[in-house]
Structure 1
């Protein structure tokens, strides 16, 4: 066992640890960047294959039955992969959160291979799934594999898994800042200095690696001429309400679709993926724009005015239903890109209606599309900072930053008023009871938790000795600004402090949950 698993060694090497973890984050970022580059190349080829098949079949209709048989076989293959490794189902983000909470375990190599292959097959079949969820999960499991192969001490694993997740998103979307913010805001739910510096190092490195292959241009090519004038901001308030409500509708629809799959008894679970594959075959002949994640569709919407309102309504409805059917079937793939597509369609429909009936300036429709995407993302994921930064990086324009922030906060407020949970939190809650991959730690291994002290929490303005701490935990230090305090019984904890807590691996999950409640955070990953 590494000496770094002993309490005395961990505490004595704490300052060195904070430096080493940054360089290890850069290494994880480099490896993740190379992996996601490979995944993006295959994903693009898979989508092009699917698109070309339908063009070919229009001239060779006698081969259509053969294509549907092939689609069914792809669905059966995906069902087989998910049956053998359930941790690859869906986007993989709830699974990563479960691992970080020490509630789930995974076989990193098996998940990595199955997720990679499964994601590519789904895109080749035309399923409405994105590459970002698999990229995040593969980055996380690659970091886990790095820790296992190099025998990193247990205290480093979660920091590096978070770094891998952020690097995966950064390389997938050319969005290093969004990768960092998403990892902190959604995956880790902790803005501690160590997590921040490690994820930042990984995201920048990963984005640099990907940029050497794909260039540093924004993912979406959009010509934003001017920011929306302040006199038009009342329209944005209405847009914020619309995307907030429709985002809630997406979340409820996704969960309801999962329930419908589970309730029906006609088709066994391992054959569920056949349903979206066959449906993709039908849609490919009638409305092929909804196939795949939707990157091409977003670019078309941003740079073309050729779509009629009726067709736009058809697109948003079909894309919405198709995405729910794909994700509910347990097929491996993300919802980031599909939900951004739906948001963009809502934006162009709203803008077109404003132009037609209220004399809105048509040149601002691309602005509305970008703004609606960010607001819709916020309503579903409930990560407003990520949504704002993500769309800013993906478009390469800061001119609409204020308007994006306004719509995002309105959408977020709507979801709060209507008690809508973040989609990944809801999916995580459903995942834990049904999962067989429950994590069981070992008492001989030590881990470090970072617990923030929030305003009006049980810990704020209290002395260490006044709190009834759970057993098997040691308050090793208090991070306050740039200083680190060795705590005593009469040390007072203030809001914005970070408690550095040392505990056994097998107790970490329960202690983390307990201290999060003490600190005023409903659930915090460390």
Structure 2
């Protein structure tokens, strides 16, 4: 005799199936995001040496390659991959706030993810001061969105999980991925989806570990502030980093919203030539820096931290200028790694006033201060820097510097760069037919 099922039993089976299917989507998505992050990281590691090879032929070749590369990247973005410009984090934030399926798909989709990867690598190949971590967030959100098409009601949580998994896999910093998802992407702790987000981050992290191995992004560092006078570097870095980060954000936000007057109208009418001009400005910054400010800045900062050798005195300001021009040009590329490099340069400049203090410790203070000033997410900033350097002895000074930088940055720029830019994407998506 076949067993019979009551209505209650059938409902319980349906609920169990739906729960397992939802969990499977988050886990499979996390694995896919982790694999995509590793692939992008390895491709980026090939793109920068390829650009260095061109530099070895002639360092002045950038006067042609970089502006023309920016122009072509901007053209492809506008014509083939709209909404792939910039870091990609504002698009992921905006997609969470939208309710229309088509509007979300205009910001996060497999098509945009493919374009984001290709054009971010192209930006590195032509010398742009861009990073791959922000683009990994949009790629992660796009992958999760695609997997979640079977359950549109769950897509805001899936987009959040994809973004958090992207940060975790890109930096090999699982805790920072979770904190980023809570502090920056959602600005709230959502108990209903927190477990699934953590599961996606774990899946992405394990995939990254399996494919790339366990590593600290900037290597391991045991440096700390040894003397009482060294602690004065905390407020100094916090104030300088906060001011510089706030100014950077304010400029990028103003350019994204469109500046008023004839200049603003010219830029809007000729975006490709503006991208060309920005590329030329990046090339000039690179030549003035002795070819040190191209790309992410990762190698320069890692070498300085490992060897205890200061960066060039003008590295911080020139990297800041190169990153600003890249960010306002309209080409795809992130600001995570370049911002950390700018902060490292600021830290080196501050360290020149503290002769007996360990250089690496003050570089970390500069990194966390400038990054917190840009993104105005102090918890994410100090967690990322702590995990990237495997230095838990600097947790307290990093926390203090990040909080000071956040407060100072708010005096210059009232809103964090990602959420301010996200509002523009939301407005454009809702206006589109």
TM-score class, shorter-chain normalisation, is 0.7 to 0.9
Q: Which structure would you say has the larger Rg?
A: 1
Change (3 A) 1:177 1:265: closer
Q: 1:101 aligns with which of 97, 103, 106?
A: 97
Greater Cα shift, 212-221 or 326-335: 212-221
Give the Cα–Cα distance (whole angstroms) in 2 for the partners of residues 72 and 379 of structure 1. 29
Aligned to 1:28: 29
Aligned to 1:250: 248
After TM superposition, the structure 1 = structure 2 runs for residues 125-524 of structure 1, keeping only pairs within 5 Å, are 125-148=126-149, 152-229=150-227, 232-258=230-256, 259=258, 262-265=264-267, 268-287=270-289, 288-304=291-307, 306-307=309-310, 311-312=312-313, 314-355=314-355, 361-362=356-357, 364-416=358-410, 420-433=414-427, 435-436=428-429
| Structure with greater helix percent | 2
- Where relative contact order (Cα < 8 A, 6+ residues apart) is larger, the structure is 2
Deviation at residue 227 of structure 1 after TM alignment: 4.6
- Structure 2 residue 94 is matched with structure 1 residue 92: no
Deviation at residue 293 of structure 1 after TM alignment: 1.2
Greater Cα shift, 384-393 or 105-114: 105-114
Q: What is the TM-score when the length of structure 2 is the normalising length?
A: 0.87
Give the Cα–Cα distance (whole angstroms) in 1 for the partners of residues 44 and 162 of structure 2. 20
- Is 1:222–1:302's contact at 8 Å kept on the other side of the alignment? no
Give the Cα–Cα distance (whole angstroms) in 2 for the partners of residues 12 and 410 of structure 1. 52
- Structure 1 residue runs of 5 or longer lacking an equivalent are 1-8, 356-360, 441-526
Q: Tell me the SS of whatever aligns to 2:46.
A: helix
Deviation at residue 425 of structure 1 after TM alignment: 1.8
Give the Cα–Cα distance (whole angstroms) in 2 for the partners of residues 15 and 389 of structure 1. 36
Deviation at residue 140 of structure 1 after TM alignment: 0.3
- Is 2:250–2:413's contact at 8 Å kept on the other side of the alignment? no
- Is 2:250–2:412's contact at 8 Å kept on the other side of the alignment? no
Change (3 A) 1:109 1:225: closer
| Structure with greater strand percent | 1
Greater Cα shift, 370-379 or 132-141: 370-379
Deviation at residue 399 of structure 1 after TM alignment: 0.8
- Is 1:18–1:194's contact at 8 Å kept on the other side of the alignment? no
Deviation at residue 222 of structure 1 after TM alignment: 4.7
Q: Tell me the SS of whatever aligns to 1:375.
A: helix
- Is 2:221–2:391's contact at 8 Å kept on the other side of the alignment? no
Q: Tell me the SS of whatever aligns to 2:218.
A: coil
Change (3 A) 1:223 1:186: closer
Q: Tell me the SS of whatever aligns to 2:392.
A: coil
Change (3 A) 1:56 1:167: same
Change (3 A) 1:257 1:166: same
Deviation at residue 10 of structure 1 after TM alignment: 11
